Amino acid sequence: MKILQVSHRVPYPLNEGGTIGIYNYTRGFYEAGHKVTLVCLNGIKHGIYNDEAYSELKKYSDVFIFDIDTNVKPIPAFLNLFTKQSYNAIRFYNRNFERFLHNLLTSNSYDIIQVEGTFVAMYYDVLRKYSKAPIILRQHNVEYQIWQRLAVNETNPLKKWYLNLLSKRLYQFEKECVNKFDAVVPVTPDDGELFKKMGCNKPIFVSPAGIDINHWQPSTIENPFHIFHLGSLEWMPNREAVIWFLKEVWPLIIGINKRFHLFIAGKNMPDFMKQMKYENVIMVGEVKDGAKFVSDKAITVVPLLSGSGIRLKILEAMAASKLVISTTIGAQGIDYENGKNILIADKPEEFAAVFKQIDLDANHYSTVSKNGYELIKSHYSNDAVIQRLLNFYKTLTS
């Protein structure tokens, strides 16, 4: 098949879950024998170097990168309050990019068009006007739910009001989008159910992010008391999670045993986080190779309190045979069994109870780590994920 991917971001470098997820689909389609064209917006916020991205992405696709300014600007954001539009979404609209899609579609034909998420869903009309191919909305998250959960956890009344406003407008935007497309591909069953509740009556096919099991592999653990958190720190739910964990949970863990050390890594760590001082906490910042960073550590914590979609970093940690300790929200969408292939902790004392057991016996949860690795091999390898999705696409084109 000839597949067109339209993305709101450049899926390279591979330094956060969203970009890795898109990249793995591009590469997976190519390796399955299909011809891929990747068209992506390049927001100033993400600071992608085009030459570097082209060099990597052109291995698997015909790639077009279109620069756009998606940064939040105070005056437009304020004026948007007096409209009914979603400011989160309209920042990604660009008339020149729309013209580019028009020209691309009038000179090329495709069998499938995969739109990568809510923020490029607004280009549906031009895609539909100039192509007869099935157009699929691949939803990385239920975007409104992220902001809704952030609002619930916010204590500042003005911020809570604004987060609720963003959530309501995103809900309306997503509700209007889902039934335009020929099918919706969420990454988790939970997200699929939310789209049904929003009124989606189009086919829904759940397809999680795939893991490159050749890159993420079990490794020798040098210190069983070394813990890590790896995730983009420009994403608000990750920042919220890390701050909560440091304030509410870490004092309990360090009180159990001072052998525990926590390494926090991720893209675009804010300056105020770099300056945080907690005993035995190392603020690493961005790392070039996540697999190398986690290789000598034993445990990952994913203390998310908000968010949506699937946490690729959990799947990667499982592929590296690390013990994963996550909140229920952090682990949502993953086909896990608590106590078998992951440990769920939602309250500080629940995290502490796990670490007390680790302090008594560092190998107590070794079977959980091994079972996590087996789960990835059987359900989440990129080859298996891609093949299931392609089989679904064939039903739409036959």
For residue range 221-262, list pLDDT tens digits in order.
878 999 999 999 988 999 999 999 999 999 999 999 999 999
Query: Which neighbouring-strand residues pair with 63?
Result: 38
SS3 295: coil
Residues 375 and 318 sit within 8 Å (Cβ to Cβ): yes
Query: 72 burial class (0-12, 13-18, 19+ CB within 10 angstroms)?
Result: exposed
d(CA 26, CA 148): 31
Considering the chain, what percentage of its residues have pLDDT values greater than 90? 76
At 165, the amino acid letter reads: L
Q: Do domains 2-208+382-397 and 226-380 have the same CATH topology?
A: yes
Please report the pLDDT score of residue 47 as a whole number: 54
b/e code 220-254 from CB counts within 10 Å (16+ = b) = ebeebbbbbbbbbbebebbbbbbebbbeebbeebb
Please report the pLDDT score of residue 333 as a whole number: 86
Beta strands in 286-398 (DSSP E): 299-302, 323-326, 343-344
Considering the chain, what percentage of its residues have pLDDT values greater than 70? 98
Supply the CATH classification number for the domain 2-208+382-397.
3.40.50.2000
Please report the pLDDT score of residue 48 as a whole number: 59
Q: What H or E segment, with its residue span, contains residue 348? A: helix 348-360
Residues 20 and 140 sit within 8 Å (Cβ to Cβ): no
Band of pLDDT at residue 45, cut at 50, 70 and 90: low
Superfamily for the 226-380 domain: Glycogen Phosphorylase B; (3.40.50.2000)
Mark out the alpha helices in 122-212 (DSSP H runs). 124-130, 143-153, 157-178, 189-197
Band of pLDDT at residue 179, cut at 50, 70 and 90: very high
**Mean pLDDT value across the chain:** 93
Band of pLDDT at residue 110, cut at 50, 70 and 90: very high
How far CA 11 is from CA of 39, 40, 93, 190, in Å, comes to 10, 8, 19, 25
Encoded tokens for 311:
């946490």
For residue range 1-17, list pLDDT tens digits in order.
999 999 999 999 888 88
Sketch the domain layout of the chain as residue ranges: 2-208+382-397, 226-380
Residues 191 and 184 sit within 8 Å (Cβ to Cβ): no
